Chain A
């Protein structure tokens, strides 16, 4: 096929692309990890890897890893994406605890659109603690009674957090467990 014929063949597709481009975007949400990685309480995968790059900046930090094991094949490039810098700090993470070449183990959610991205539910660097990266999932796991078996260090800002984003069922269970104070905020560790 000549290049001219190729271009002629491409014209209908180009028109379709124009029509698609003129469509208004249906969703204009704020940064929402659940839109890209699934619900807070959904199943996680376990991943191990080596850090190859760190971008500690806003609007969200990211860490590139090359997988070495876990539920993903070894030797693949994946990007961990997470909170803005201030929220990472609130969760108890600092830039200095990550370095290129470090070994990481994590639990996380894969991107729902098949992109090579993971939102970490919890991260362990080298021989450090497995630290929570999402307080609402801590709440869900506490309410389900599975938190202790995960051996996750809870988010540094778990105590005093409003639990609404963990879902009504979790809020009701936490209340029943005596883990909400008079303002409805999370009490952790239990009194």
Chain B
């Protein structure tokens, strides 16, 4: 069930990402190509990155914290979670988060596993990226 939910989220993110990419290139074409002239759009090369070899992970039993893996430049990619693994949940206080977000300092996407103080859960996360060039 969890895989289906993750898959649905991934599909939605990729759809929206490609939608935005296409929209951006449409805007570029509109500015560069006069009306009535057949435009010659350069082909966009798309590829997927591999997951980082090591998951982002935090074992709450050993201490709270946030662990991250830098993914790819936000200038030409969109990233999505490919793994969410939760262990050691004994009660409602044992929470944790997997997050994919752009790090403002580096300008790169990163995947973060976050376990708050008081949680004994172990969280593992990983991600891949769709890169266009």
Interface residues of A (CB under 8 A from B): 1, 3, 6-7, 9-11, 13-18, 20-23, 25-32, 35-36, 52-53, 57-60, 64, 77-79, 111, 113-117
Contact = CB atoms under 8 A, between A and B. Distances in A.
Contact of A18 (B11, B23, B49, B71): B11
Say whether chain B's binding surface is mostly helix, strand, loop, or mixed: mixed
Given A17-B130, A77-B105, A11 B53 contact: no
A18 B22 contact: no
A17 B15 CA distance: 10
Interface residues of B, number: 45
Contacts, number: 119
A17 B70 contact: no
Contacts of A36: 52-54, 69
Nearest to A62: B68
A144 to B, nearest CB: 27
Interface of B: 3, 6-7, 10-15, 18-19, 22-23, 26, 46, 48-49, 51-55, 57-58, 63-67, 69-72, 80-83, 105-108, 124, 126, 128, 130
